[in-house]
């Protein structure tokens, strides 16, 4: 039997874990390009609607075509690859170690990207170099030619030189060989703790095309500002007066949580006087939520919104409405894809945040930075901005975490991280509340946040459960080892794409993928509801 068809027991365990991890993040139905595809087993396991594998080994390509006739395989060198289409995901799994010119290959990737493409690159940790050589001498691992052993900062630097923007980095798999019970415990439990990640065998980078280097013309969008409120009558008029026009126009949506102080009546009065209070607003309306909690109110407002850009503004106006254009600019310019406010950068007014609340925010900021592999300082800042298309993707994958967040902050942050959106914080000045009282029970809600963090830990770090059926915008985090003439073989993977093989053709017509960005909205006439 050819060695490609019978991987060793150690290699099989390694490949199975990587295939499972890739499946956690790549939903079925996406378009995927894999460089160094080998036998195509990883590519097939992702059940892509359009899957293209590239390898310079004629033998590997021939076998891949036999094993997966519903996919397309191309015999080519990655440095010279020419394809007339773009993809949702591009995977280079443990390939950079074999490349003669890594920067040149990275630069070629830009031609196969649309603005929302995610590029996933994995490589062996350079600290494992000596152990790999020992494994080769013991014939546990097939011998390979001399490898490039790069640290994560080196790979990130090469990406930036090639107009790629790293979104997140990480490490995975402390024990890449199978010892019954022991390996799974070390990888699933010990490896998920933030203590020894730098010793893991694999280094992982998720990147995107750098929007600063894109030649596309900037597109403006219509904005929907959602204000969840309960007993905030004294703050309503100031919100109406200060929310600015952004992009193609701004609509203001209030969602009331059964106020008893006349908040709804005050909103209706301001709507009637909108032309006087703020002629720059296109429309304003108010709804009363049937449920309870800020998270429920925000979801109701987002579902009713008509803008391409969705914003959350707290009704206590501790964050100034005048700061919203900063969030809009950060999003539309492409600097970030999920914009989160941070109240913990600038000094705040003496009574703006209670001491225990501030400690809690710092704590959960550190927890989320670890869980999401992106820096966060203030998870509970109410001001958050994202594109409608990304919110719809978060909604489609919401069952993965469950409906357990009464605030809505963690629901959105976890969802954005699950999609591998680039999270960017905008520092704001937090001021004292002038009217009403804080709606948060510090200790009760603090316990709830701990429960949510524990659930997120189990989903992101511990078991990384399968996510079949989530949004196609989700990006993979890690890929399996490619097979080339110099690389060890990929273990046969069980693929959910078998049912599609009868209906999909290997010679499927190439089509340029459309960038998944929000569509331009026409500004309507002013409305009153």
Three-state DSSP string of 442-461 = HHHHHHHHHHHHHHHHHHHH
Residues 328 and 187 occupy one common structural domain: no
8 Å CB contact between 420 and 170: no
Residues 235 and 86 occupy one common structural domain: no
Residues 240 and 180 occupy one common structural domain: no
The domain that holds 59 is classified in CATH as 3.40.50.150
Q: Is residue 426 part of a domain?
A: yes
The domain that holds 393 is classified in CATH as 3.90.550.10
What's the pLDDT at 197?
Answer: 72
Query: Do the bridges between strand 72-75 and strand 113-124 make them parallel or antiparallel, or are there none, so unpaired?
Result: unpaired
Residues 396 and 437 occupy one common structural domain: yes
8 Å CB contact between 473 and 22: no
pLDDT digits (tens, 9 = 90+) for 155-197: 999 999 999 999 998 888 888 888 888 988 888 888 778 777 7
What's the pLDDT at 97?
Answer: 86
8 Å CB contact between 283 and 524: yes
Domain with 376, as residue range(s), is: 222-461
Residues 331 and 372 occupy one common structural domain: yes
Among 382, 381, 465, 385, residue whose Cα is nearest residue 418: 465
What's the pLDDT at 269?
Answer: 96
Outline where 68-170 has alpha helix (H): 102-109, 129-137, 152-161
Number of domains in the chain: 2
What is d(CA 174, CA 144) in angstroms, rounded to the nearest whole number? 22
Q: What is the 3-state secondary structure (H, E, C) of 11-80?
A: HHHHHHHHHHHHHHHCCCCCEEEEECCCCCHHHHHCCCCEEEEEECCHHHHHHHHHHCCCCEEEECCHHH
Q: 367 CB contacts (<8 Å, ≥6 apart)?
A: 453
Q: 281 CB contacts (<8 Å, ≥6 apart)?
A: 240, 243, 245, 250, 251, 252, 274, 526
What's the pLDDT at 214?
Answer: 72
Q: Is residue 94 part of a domain?
A: yes
Residues 197 and 235 occupy one common structural domain: no
Where do we find the tokens 């069952």?
399
3-state secondary structure at position 346: coil
pLDDT digits (tens, 9 = 90+) for 480-515: 333 332 333 333 333 333 333 434 444 443 333 333
Q: Is residue 40 part of a domain?
A: yes
Residues 278 and 200 occupy one common structural domain: no
Residues 472 and 429 occupy one common structural domain: no
Q: Is residue 314 part of a domain?
A: yes
Q: Is residue 517 part of a domain?
A: no
Q: 253 CB contacts (<8 Å, ≥6 apart)?
A: 224, 225, 226, 227, 284, 285, 286, 287, 301, 304, 305
Residues of the chain with pLDDT below 50 are 1-6, 465-529
Residues 259 and 283 occupy one common structural domain: yes
């Amino acid at each position: 039997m050819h060695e490609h068809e019978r991987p060793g027991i150690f290699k099989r365990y390694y490949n199975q874990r990587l295939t499972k991890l890739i499946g956690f993040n790549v939903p079925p139905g996406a378009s995927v390009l894999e460089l160094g595809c080998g036998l195509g087993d990883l590519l097939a396991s992702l059940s892509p609607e359009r899957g293209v594998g590239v390898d310079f080994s004629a033998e590997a390509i021939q076998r891949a075509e036999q094993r997966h006739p519903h996919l397309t395989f191309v015999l080519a060198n990655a440095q010279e690859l020419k394809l007339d289409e773009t993809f949702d995901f591009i995977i280079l799994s443990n390939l950079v170690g074999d490349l003669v010119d890594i920067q040149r290959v990275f630069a070629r990737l830009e031609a196969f990207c649309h603005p929302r493409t995610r590029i996933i690159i994995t490589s062996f940790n350079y600290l494992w170099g000596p152990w790999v050589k020992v494994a080769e001498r013991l014939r546990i691992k097939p011998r390979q030619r001399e490898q490039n052993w790069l640290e994560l900062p080196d790979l990130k630097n090469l990406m930036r030189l090639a107009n790629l923007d790293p979104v997140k980095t990480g490490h995975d798999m402390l024990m890449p060989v199978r010892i019954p019970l022991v390996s799974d415990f070390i990888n699933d439990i010990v490896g998920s703790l933030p203590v020894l990640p730098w010793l893991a065998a694999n280094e992982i980078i998720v990147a995107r095309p750098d929007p600063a280097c894109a030649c596309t013309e900037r597109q403006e969008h219509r904005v929907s500002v959602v204000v969840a409120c309960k007993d905030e009558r004294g703050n309503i008029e100031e919100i109406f007066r200060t929310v600015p026009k952004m992009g193609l126009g701004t609509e203001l949506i209030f969602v009331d949580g059964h106020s008893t102080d006349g908040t709804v009546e005050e909103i209706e009065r301001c709507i009637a006087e909108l032309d006087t209070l703020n002629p720059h607003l296109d429309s304003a309306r108010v709804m009363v939520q049937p449920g309870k909690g800020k998270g429920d109110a925000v979801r109701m407002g987002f579902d009713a919104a008509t803008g391409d850009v969705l914003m959350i503004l707290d009704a206590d106006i501790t964050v100034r409405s005048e700061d919203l254009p900063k969030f809009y600019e950060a999003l539309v310019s492409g600097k970030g894809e999920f914009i989160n406010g941070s109240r913990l950068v600038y000094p705040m007014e003496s009574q703006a945040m209670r001491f225990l609340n501030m400690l809690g925010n710092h704590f959960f900021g550190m927890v989320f930075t670890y869980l999401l592999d992106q820096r966060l300082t203030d998870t509970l800042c109410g001001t958050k901005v994202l594109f409608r298309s990304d919110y719809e993707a978060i909604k489609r994958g919401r069952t993965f975490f469950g409906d357990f967040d009464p605030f809505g902050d963690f629901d959105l942050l976890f969802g954005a991280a699950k999609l591998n959106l680039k999270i960017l914080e905008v520092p704001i000045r937090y001021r004292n509340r002038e009217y009403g009282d804080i709606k948060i029970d510090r200790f009760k809600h603090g316990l709830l946040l701990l429960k949510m963090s524990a659930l997120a830990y189990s989903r992101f770090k511990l078991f990384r459960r399968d996510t079949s059926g989530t949004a196609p915008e989700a990006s993979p985090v890690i890929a399996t080892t490619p097979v080339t003439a110099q690389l060890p073989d990929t273990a046969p993977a069980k693929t959910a794409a078998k049912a599609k093989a009868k209906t999909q053709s290997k010679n499927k017509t190439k089509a340029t993928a459309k960038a998944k960005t929000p569509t331009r909205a026409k500004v309507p006439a002013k409305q009153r509801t």
